[in-house]
Structure 1
Amino acid sequence: MKAWVYNEERELDAAQFADYLDPASTAVVSIDMHRGHLDDSPDCPCPAPRARDVVAPIDGFHDAARALGVRIVHIRSVLRPGGVDDVHGIPSAWRRTFPLHVGEIPNADAHAIEGSKWTEWVTRVAPGDMRVDNKRRLSAFYPTDLDFLLRNQRIETVVLNGGFTDCCVLNTAFDASNRNYRVIVLRDLVRGTDAHLEGAALAMVSLHLGLVLDSAELLRQWRG
């Protein structure tokens, strides 16, 4: 099995990771692939332009996973109208720190507001897929019911895709590992703030949290 360890491709013995590779106990968790990150308009409230090029590949991977019986969970950030969960309560830290790097984000207060166009999916949600619609901070587990949903489905391995690699994907990977889920992050189907932070996040996952694989390799293992 080809995997990435500290950002170098390595050949691993798949038998040593057989428990990671059972599609029957696996769910794909796709994080924040909605318009609030992916829209190309100037008023996009939290733009993640590097992630736009993985929309079609994620849809293709999800189709292949569904065909193998692997369950798909779509996660999106949604805040109550009026911003009481965030800008008009205790604001998320990123709202104050991220602009130090990228500059002012003019429409940031509109990010993830319930009922707005910014919470509309960009990747395809198929009938039978599961959804978690109340992610309010960086991890898909907090303060959502994702853990309940996965355990009720007897899921033991989570496969992560989406964005940002160094933010929500990494936070979710840590939380999943701390809850004793086996973690796989798909190197070709996540995107970070930039290539440097993306690589750093994937290196951390590979050393401390789970496997970093390319999506084609994971499908090959599932089919094998």
Structure 2
Amino acid sequence: MQAYVYEQPRELSETEFADYLNPATTAVVSIDMHRGHLDDSPDCPCPAPRARDLVAPLDAFHDRVRALGVRLIHVRSTLRANGEDDIRGIPAAWRRTFPLHVGPIPNADAHAIEGSRWTEWRTRVEPGDMRVDTKRRLSAFYPSDLDFLLRNQRIETVVLDGGFTDCCVLSTAFDANNHNYRVIVLRDLVRGTDDKLEAAALSMVSLHLGLVMESGELLRVWGQRPH
């Protein structure tokens, strides 16, 4: 099978990585594909424009995931409407540091407020999918019940897609690894702040946290295995 190590394609033994590739003990975790990142409007509170072109490919990939019987979990950032999780408490660090790079974000205070249009999904969520709606910081594990859900489903491997590669995806990959899950990141179905940071994040994953693969290659491998 083909994976990427430090951004270079490598042929790896499926036997050696068989424990990463069992569909029966795997969940796909799709991160933050909501309007607060993906809306094409000037008041989008935390724009991730490079991820907008992922919506259709993710929907197509998730359809294949469902057809194979692999579990699918959608995770999104959600903050209490009164701001006690963030701007009226100890604000998330990105609110102060990210604008140093991108400039002021005029509507940032509206990011991820529960009940607002900014938490509406842009990718398709089907009734049989699972959801985690309490991601409050960068990692999908904190302070949500994702770990509880995965362990209750007897999941051993998490496959990550969504955005940002160098932010929430990378933070989730580290946390998943620290919780002793096997990690796969889909390089064609994540997007970073820019090409440089995306490549750096994927390189870190490949060296320290798990496998970096293309979604089509993972589907091919899954299709050859019992479910």
TM range (shorter): over 0.9
Q: Is 1:163 aligned to 2:137, yes or no?
A: no
Aligned to 1:145: 145
Partners of 1:54 and 1:81 in 2: CA distance: 28
Q: TM-score normalised to the size of structure 1?
A: 1.00
Aligned to 1:89: 89
Q: Is 1:29 aligned to 2:29, yes or no?
A: yes
Matches within 5 A, 1:28-177: 28-177=28-177
Partners of 1:159 and 1:59 in 2: CA distance: 15
Partners of 1:83 and 1:214 in 2: CA distance: 38
Cα deviation, 1:21-75, whole Å, max 9, x if unaligned, reads 0000000000000000000000000000000011110111100011010000000
Partners of 1:112 and 1:54 in 2: CA distance: 20
Following superposition, the deviation at residue 82 of structure 1 comes to 1.6
Aligned to 2:212: 212
Q: Tell me the percent identity.
A: 79
Partners of 2:82 and 2:100 in 1: CA distance: 25
Cα deviation, 1:151-187, whole Å, max 9, x if unaligned, reads 0000000000000000000000000000110000000
Following superposition, the deviation at residue 20 of structure 1 comes to 0.5
The residue type equivalent to 1:145 in the other structure is: D
Which sections of structure 1, spanning at least 5 residues, go unmatched?
none
Aligned to 2:200: 200
Following superposition, the deviation at residue 147 of structure 1 comes to 0.2
The residue type equivalent to 1:121 in the other structure is: W
SS of structure 2 residue aligned to 1:206: helix
The residue type equivalent to 2:196 in the other structure is: H
RMSD (Å) for aligned C-alpha atoms: 0.4
Partners of 2:17 and 2:65 in 1: CA distance: 19
SS of structure 2 residue aligned to 1:189: strand
Q: TM-score normalised to the size of structure 2?
A: 0.98
Which sections of structure 2, spanning at least 5 residues, go unmatched?
none
Following superposition, the deviation at residue 4 of structure 1 comes to 0.4
Following superposition, the deviation at residue 127 of structure 1 comes to 1.2
The residue type equivalent to 1:73 in the other structure is: I
